[in-house]
Amino acid sequence: MDQKDTPTKFYNVGLSYKKADVKVRGAFSITKENQKLLLNEAKARGLKGVFVLSTCNRTEITGFANHPFELISLLIKYSNGNVEDFSKVSNVYSNKDAVRHLFNISTGLDSQILGDYEIVGQLKEAFKLAKKLGTTNAYLERLMNLVLQASKEVKNTTKLSSGTTSVAYAAIQYIVDHVPEYAGKKILIFGMGEIGKNTCKNILEYTQNKNVTFINRTFQKALDFKQMHPEVTVVEYDKLTEVISNVDILIVSTGSSVPTIHKEHLTKGKKLLILDLSMPENVDASIKELKDITLVNLDELSKITDKTIEMRKSEIPAAEKIIQKYKDEFNDWISHRKYVPAVNALKESLLAIQNDEINFQSKKIKDFNVEHAEIITTRLIHKITTQFVKHLKDEETSVDQSINVISKMFNIKELSLNEND
């Protein structure tokens, strides 16, 4: 088969916390603006069913391509990473493995903190952006619909997320475990992304601490948040250094591509706990050299959740059972789109052979029983097509190759083998 006729495959390419540390993940992070540029270029290249997911724990591109490097090259181009580093930490999934990967992500099975559902909102936003820019297709839309249904059912019917241990919660757990008399400490949260807001809500709910100050570059966002949480103090950005000098704990969740906290923001000789929840890291690395500063990043925070994780592991089989149900539903949908035309074409070819053979035998054999012959051969055709369907649904089957062989054997022309429409 010529390369131009080779059906494109469904891929997921990227990297995550599993192989890449905070620094490397930061280098491959893709800004929202660059995600738009990437998707537009993918569309111009003729790539379909493509979306980009870039979070603190992973950067991935999912979509159809003839070769995974078509997607990898886009990831490299629109991030600050390079091919050499990517090859050391990357994951490349294709077809059924790529589908399984998306289900595992959405249900929290592949989260850095098992059962963390923060990723679901990010998945929805990533898909929404792709749909807006016209890079989705029927295959991806159906898959994402079932992926999100599975996520919802796992969350509602299992205890996989019991005792929530999101990044925002892990930060609070660290404070509770390591800071004496934490309820009376002065806390500053710098940055009002989702993680920053969730961290603030967790502080108010779990620590009973009312000494929380919020600073955000856009002051109006801080004021809007205060309307719902009047116990929080909000201060304008130009007061950042002054406020830091008066607090005991600084939580940074600014989501910038460069550090937002430097040595000059800190008061020399003053003890301060800094929790950096940003990706890439937004606290300058040189601050670690200061003896009075305790700096904790995302990777360190994830270590405090081990006890909860052990409890959640027992829920994995229940989650996998739910995932399998939705995967089966997706496979059935694929069967209808891909197998049925092939099976129908085979059936039509066999019926033509049946008709020719019965006509031939009825002329050759005196008193030939056409009715009996039709009953027997029709049953044989049904058994053959049923067996063909079972073969196509087998996990080990190369569907495109099998359909291609049948097409050649029975001279079936113009049979579409592509999922990518």
**Contact (Cβ atoms closer than 8 angstroms) between residue 112 and residue 57:** yes
**Contact (Cβ atoms closer than 8 angstroms) between residue 190 and residue 252:** yes
**Contact (Cβ atoms closer than 8 angstroms) between residue 165 and residue 116:** yes
- Long-range Cβ contacts of 335-341 (<8 Å, 24+ apart): 335/389, 335/392, 335/393, 337/419, 338/399, 338/417, 338/419, 339/389, 339/392, 339/393, 339/399, 341/415, 341/416
- Whole-angstrom distance, CA of residue 421 vs CA of residue 419: 6
DSSP secondary structure, 86-122, as one string: HHHHEEEEETHHHHHHHHHHHTTTTSSSTT--HHHHH
Find tokens 């500063």 and name the residue.
293
Q: What is the DSSP letter of 283?
A: B
Residue 241: which region, alpha, beta or left (left: phi > 0; alpha: psi -120 to 50)? alpha
Catalytic residues: 56
DSSP secondary structure, 59-73, as one string: EEEEEEESSTHHHHH
68 Cβ contact partners less than 8 Å away, ≥ 6 residues apart: 11, 13, 92, 94
- Whole-angstrom distance, CA of residue 284 vs CA of residue 252: 11
From the centroid of its chain, how far is CA 362? Answer: 61
Q: What are phi and psi of 210, to 5 degrees?
A: -110, 5
**Contact (Cβ atoms closer than 8 angstroms) between residue 283 and residue 274:** yes
Name which of 63, 240, 61 is nearest 140 in CA terms: 63
What does DSSP say about strands 187-190 and 212-215: parallel, antiparallel, or unpaired? Answer: parallel
